[in-house]
Amino acid sequence: MKRISACLRWLVPAALIVGLVTSGAAVAGAGGAPARVGPATLNASGATFPQPYYEEVIGAFKAKESGVTINYAGGGSGKGRQDFSDQVVDFAGSDGLFKPEDTANIKGGEFLYFPTVAAPVTVSYNLKGVKGLRLSADTLAKIFQGQIKSWDDPAIKAENPRAKLLSTAITVVHRADGSGTTENFTKYLTAAAPGVWTLGSGSTVSWGSDTQAGQGNSGVGQVIKSTDGAIGYVDFADAKALKLQFASIKNQDGKYVAPSTKATSAAVSKAEVKTDLTYNPLNAAGKDAYPIAAPTWILVYKNQTDNAKGDAIKAFLNFVYGEGQKIAPSVDYAPLPKSLLDKAKAQVKQIAVA
Amino acid sequence: MTAPAVPLRQSTRKTGRELKNGLATAFMVTSFLIALVPLVFIVYYVLQRGSSIMSWSFLTDDLPFSNRRPGGGIWPAIVGTLVITGAAAAMAVPLGVLGGIYLNEYGGRGPIARVVRFLAEVMTGVPSIVMGLFIYTIWVLPRKQDGLSGFAGALALGCLMLPIVIRTTEEILKTVPDDLREGSYALGCRKARTIRTVVVPHAAPGIVSGSLLAIARAAGETAPLLFTVGIAFSPNFNVFEGSNTALPQQIYINAGTFGGFEAAQDRAWGAALALIVIVLAFTLVARIFTALYTRRAEAT
Amino acid sequence: MTTDASSLPKSLTKGSRPPGILTDRTFRVLALIAGLAVLVILALIAIYTTREALPWFREEGFGIFTDNWDPAKNHFGALGLIYGTLLVSVIALVLAVPVSIGIALFVTEVAPRSIRRPIVYTVDLLAAIPSVVYGLWALLVLVEPLASLFESVSDATASIPILNTIFADPSSSGRSFMTAGIIVAIMITPIVTSITREVFATVPESQKEAALAVGATRWEMIRGAVFPHSRSGMVAASMIGLGRALGETIAVALIIGSSQRVTSNILGPGDTLASVIANQFGEASGTHRAALIGCGVVLFAMTIAIGMAARAVVARAERRSAGTT
């Protein structure tokens, strides 16, 4: 009798301690932030222009919400819009808007454009010993159309009197895949060099026959890097990572501006934002504005049929508009200006989860 | 006594022939060396660049979200290759072996067998990317968000493997001596039982070898996977659900789209080394089985 | 001696229907179904791909055979792609067939018996390397040196009449028809060698020895006894190599330069039916997608045609040799 009560006296506190410890562990979660959303897997594809940013922000988001897996496949804005129309992916990245005639093929009904970040499209080149090249829209148009064929052309020399330009042949590099970067670059040329640029604008354009093509932004960067005398358009993050030289472009105010996130923010803040949150920061006014600042959006269907996926998408977007905006400059992307950011946050609420 | 005036082979016409013969021999040897050069180069580069990044963590870590930066590993791709190729083999090998059995044991020279044989040969000529497009159109698109999966890739690879397995099985079964079959019939076994207990066991090493070679071929294919499996950054053991990735796809992405970044290049070489090791392992085992089979065939 | 019913094997004493016939029949049906699976799958492939490609045929009509591949303007004339496919395959054959014949002769006639099998294994090792690894190696290792080589060749032949149009304008990145042709040549060498080797092995020893007995050199023996016997076999091997070359997708997609037009400049960028699908299908929609699937159909048709021609050549050779032996 005495022995049993002695054991019991140890048993009760022991049970209390064990109970406290296990409930504490349950509350704290297993070695990480409490997962509130998911489990869900989101498949996405699309623009390679913001891909360095999305990769970073997806990684940060997964650390926070371990139940959500996001697979962003890249492939170009064209692929993103096509996969989105076919409903093969849960959301898509695109630097360009749907053409009116393509909206009929979108199988999932109403959708929303969510702007995420903006960044400069650099004009990168490979020329030994030539730094800080300065180019205007007219010269750019003539180069990319094949009218200016070598680096020592008088038009280039006029803008760069002190540069040592040899008679190296110019090799134009463009995208092989359907690209929002191409679309934004050609839209800029159409707006800024209207009399000179004849190839129009779009996610693919009829480039000349002796040009080179690359897959994705980094593919173009790779071709430029390995080809002497090459010039092409590459997103800022990839151009920096590949250590390419990029040109300063003459903006509307007549100043030559080098690509940077600050110059991009200057351009974006001047752009007019429509009700569906689309906007056009290309060829912006303002002396600090970089003229080829490109926008990018995430496309999401308004009516989400899968609860877990719908919640995951909303959580991801909210993350992009919260911590994601702070991450952007560290990977060379410009965060959205406050007014646009507030509108975007409000639009997230429009996503209806079943 | 006069010594022979001229050695027998010394006329100019004969040295012309000798010259041609020597040139021809030189050409033949050079051809072999020419074929060796790319092989040596490729093996050297894959070994050297691949082993510089190879490590236990490279083989077991998840794929990094960013291909541009070093780090991470290719474990999801290894899992994907094994799981997807395994599923493809599970579908194509039994079907293919049965088909080969039909062609050799039942069909013979009949009209159906002739058509099937012809079609199997035609099917080996279908470009692998067309297989991928086909599966994308009839399997992935109708399933919308659930379409991209390891299984879709396995279907495409299975279509690729099927005609190969059928033809190699038929070839092997042809070499099984008829005496074995007739002996079995004489003892009262029916055809199915004969096939099951006599023919197939005798031909088994050869059939296994043919199937392993088909599997090795499928493991190295990229095009059928391009539009069917999607992408994944952590291992997905479930072949039926969720997108997946595979070693050939990772090599293609890292070399093609991200090839300007050294980290991606290293990753591509590492994945190539892993892939070649897997493919060679299957090929080697297949060769062992072939040797086993030829020894058994010579014994009978 | 009377046979007791109980001493007979059970199988012979059971009822009127012989035992095991049900499993026999089901097995036969199963095997038949398995064989027909090929028929079904192939029919599905043919039907679905042609159906998806119909919008292309309808929109362009015979325009599909014009040299005008321009997705931006919604034009999809595939002549440049068909030309590119054939050009790369021809370059590959020109490079691979002589080398393969040389290797096959080396193995069957020249090499000492002991090293024959290792040589065969080594050449077969080339076949085991996946296409994407060839593409990786070509892209990261081969392309830049080739670019400088092409420069030198182009400069050297600048004044020679025909050569200066073929080697006119070398691609500065090294991605070109020629590079693709070289890589595809390496890839088809094992299969062409293997078939040619088997063909050479069927030459009757008596004929070879007869030639040697009358004093022929080895080369004369080969020309006199081996080649005539193997002519159609070598043609068949080349056609099979051609079929493989036509379908080569991934390695070509990485190094061909994505330029869809007909040009005599083989050192410049190009594209093939298979690689344009790999590069453009992801973002294609509407007519563009139909056109790419249509390219797959055209490619498939070309491969079937080559395959059938090869079989016809082999069949004719078999008939001929059946008559002579």
How confident is the model over A15-30, as pLDDT tens digits?
555 555 445 444 444 4
Higher pLDDT, B168 or B300: B168
Omega before residue A39 within 30° of 0, cis: yes
Answer whether B223 sits within 8 Å of C219, measured CB to CB: no
Q: What is the pLDDT of residue A76?
A: 87
Higher pLDDT, C172 or A175: A175
> Please, which pLDDT band fits residue B13 given cuts at 50, 70 and 90?
low
Single-letter residue type at C158: A
Q: Which of A77, A177, A223 lies closest to C173 in CB terms?
A: A223
Surface-to-core class of residue B29, CB atoms within 10 Å of its CB (0-12 exposed, 13-18 middle, 19+ buried): middle
| Cβ contacts of A306 on chain B, cutoff 8 Å | 145
Q: Check whether C294 has a pLDDT greater than 50.
A: yes
Q: How many whole angstroms separate alpha carbon B230 and alpha carbon B251?
A: 15
Lowest mean pLDDT across B76-85, C36-45, C60-69: C60-69
Q: What is the pLDDT of residue B5?
A: 53
Average pLDDT over all residues of chain C: 86
Mean pLDDT over residues B107-133, rounded? Answer: 89
Q: Is C81 on the interface with A (CB under 8 A)?
A: no
Q: Which chains touch C (3 or more CB pairs under 8 A)?
A: A, B
Q: What is the pLDDT of residue C319?
A: 76
DSSP string, B29-98: HHHHHHHHHHHHHHHHHHHHHHHHH--HHHHHSPPPS-TTSS----HHHHHHHHHHHHHHHHHHHHHHHH
Tokens at A243, concatenated: 């250590």
Residue A41's SS3 state is: strand
Q: How many whole angstroms separate alpha carbon B30 and alpha carbon B281?
A: 30
The whole-angstrom distance between B230's CA and the closest CA on chain A is 7
Per the CB < 8 A criterion, the answer to whether C103 and B31 are in contact is yes
Answer whether C136 sits within 8 Å of B190, measured CB to CB: no
Answer whether C140 sits within 8 Å of B125, measured CB to CB: no
Residue C67's SS3 state is: coil
Residue A60's SS3 state is: helix
Q: Check whether A180 has a pLDDT greater than 60.
A: yes
As beta bridge partners, residue A124 has: A232, A246
Lowest mean pLDDT across A164-173, B290-299, C30-39, C261-270: B290-299
Q: What is the pLDDT of residue C71?
A: 84
Give the model confidence (pLDDT) of B38-90 as tens digits: 989 999 999 999 999 999 999 999 999 988 889 899 999 999 999 999 999 99
Q: What is the pLDDT of residue A11?
A: 63
Mean pLDDT over residues C44-56, rounded? Answer: 92
- State the first-to-last Cα distance of chain A, in angstroms, to the nearest integer: 62
Mean pLDDT over residues B189-215, rounded? Answer: 91
Question: Within a 13 Å sphere around the CA of A333, how many CA atoms are in the beta-carbon half?
Answer: 27
| Cβ contacts of A229 on chain C, cutoff 8 Å | 172
Higher pLDDT, B138 or C171: B138
Residue A278 CB neighbours (<10 A):
15
Helices and strands, number each (H, E), in chain C: 14, 2
Give the model confidence (pLDDT) of B157-189 as tens digits: 999 999 999 999 999 999 999 999 999 999 988
Mean pLDDT over residues A184-196, rounded? Answer: 93
Mean pLDDT over residues C271-277, rounded? Answer: 93
Q: What is the pLDDT of residue C1?
A: 47
Q: Is B269 on the interface with C (CB under 8 A)?
A: yes
Q: How many whole angstroms separate alpha carbon C52 and alpha carbon C50?
A: 5
What burial letters (b/e) apply to B225-236, b meaning 16+ CB within 10 Å? bbbbbbbbbebb
Tokens at A36, concatenated: 């509130």
The percent of residues above 70 in pLDDT, for chain A, comes to 90
> Please, which pLDDT band fits residue C16 given cuts at 50, 70 and 90?
low
Q: How many whole angstroms separate alpha carbon A334 and alpha carbon A330?
A: 9
Q: How many whole angstroms separate alpha carbon C286 and alpha carbon A102?
A: 9
> Please, which pLDDT band fits residue A103 given cuts at 50, 70 and 90?
confident
Question: Within a 13 Å sphere around the CA of A269, how many CA atoms are in the beta-carbon half?
Answer: 14
Q: What is the pLDDT of residue B12?
A: 55
Residue A285's SS3 state is: coil
Mean pLDDT over residues B103-114, rounded? Answer: 88
Query: Which residues are within 8 A (CB) of B200 and not within 5 positions of it... i.e. 6 or more apart?
Result: B101, B207
Q: Is C118 on the interface with B (CB under 8 A)?
A: no
Q: What is the pLDDT of residue C6?
A: 53
Q: Is C279 on the interface with B (CB under 8 A)?
A: no
Q: What is the pLDDT of residue A8?
A: 60
Q: How many whole angstroms separate alpha carbon A81 and alpha carbon C7?
A: 78
Q: Which of B137, B258, B261, B267 to mutate to test the interface with A (most CBs of A within 10 A)?
A: B258
Q: Is C135 on the interface with A (CB under 8 A)?
A: no
Answer whether B106 sits within 8 Å of C31, measured CB to CB: yes
Answer whether A221 sits within 8 Å of B66, measured CB to CB: no
As beta bridge partners, residue A246 has: A124
Tokens at C92, concatenated: 């590959």
> Please, which pLDDT band fits residue A14 given cuts at 50, 70 and 90?
low
Query: Which residues are within 8 A (CB) of C156 and not within 5 positions of it... i.e. 6 or more apart?
Result: none
Q: Name the helix (H) or strand (E) containing B185.
A: helix B178-186
Which of A171, A180, A162, A103 minimizes the C-alpha distance to A143? A171
Answer whether C299 sits within 8 Å of B130, measured CB to CB: yes
Give the model confidence (pLDDT) of A253-265 as tens digits: 999 999 999 999 9
Q: Is C134 on the interface with B (CB under 8 A)?
A: yes
Q: How many whole angstroms separate alpha carbon C124 and alpha carbon C114?
A: 17
Mean pLDDT over residues C291-304, rounded? Answer: 92
Q: Check whether B121 has a pLDDT greater than 90.
A: no
Lowest mean pLDDT across A83-97, B92-106, C161-175: C161-175
What burial letters (b/e) apply to B189-198, b meaning 16+ CB within 10 Å? bbbbbbbeeb
CA distances (Å), origin A208, targets A61, B93, C70, C292: 42, 49, 11, 21
pTM of the entire structure? 0.88
Please name the residue that has the structure tokens 């050079």.
B30
Answer whether C173 sits within 8 Å of A203, measured CB to CB: no
Surface-to-core class of residue B126, CB atoms within 10 Å of its CB (0-12 exposed, 13-18 middle, 19+ buried): buried
Per the CB < 8 A criterion, the answer to whether A212 and C171 are in contact is yes
Per the CB < 8 A criterion, the answer to whether A119 and A332 are in contact is yes
Q: Check whether A326 has a pLDDT greater than 70.
A: yes
Q: How many whole angstroms separate alpha carbon C319 and alpha carbon A257?
A: 77
| Cβ contacts of C189 on chain B, cutoff 8 Å | 35
Q: What is the pLDDT of residue C285?
A: 79
Q: Check whether A204 has a pLDDT greater than 90.
A: no
Q: What is the pLDDT of residue C322?
A: 64
Q: How many whole angstroms separate alpha carbon A187 and alpha carbon A202?
A: 7
Q: How many whole angstroms separate alpha carbon C200 and alpha carbon C222?
A: 10
Q: Check whether C295 has a pLDDT greater than 60.
A: yes
Q: Is C29 on the interface with B (CB under 8 A)?
A: no
The overall longest dimension of chain A from CA atoms, in Å, is 108
Q: Which of C72, C73, C261 lies closest to A209 in CB terms?
A: C261
Q: How many whole angstroms separate alpha carbon B253 and alpha carbon C95?
A: 29
| Cβ contacts of A222 on chain B, cutoff 8 Å | 258-260
DSSP label of B211:
H
Parallel, antiparallel or unpaired: strands A293-301 and A111-125: antiparallel
Q: Check whether B2 has a pLDDT greater than 60.
A: no
Please name the residue that has the structure tokens 């022991």.
A14
Length of chain C: 325
Q: What is the pLDDT of residue A24?
A: 45
**Backbone φ and ψ of C143, nearest 5°:** -65, -40
| Cβ contacts of C278 on chain B, cutoff 8 Å | 129, 223, 226
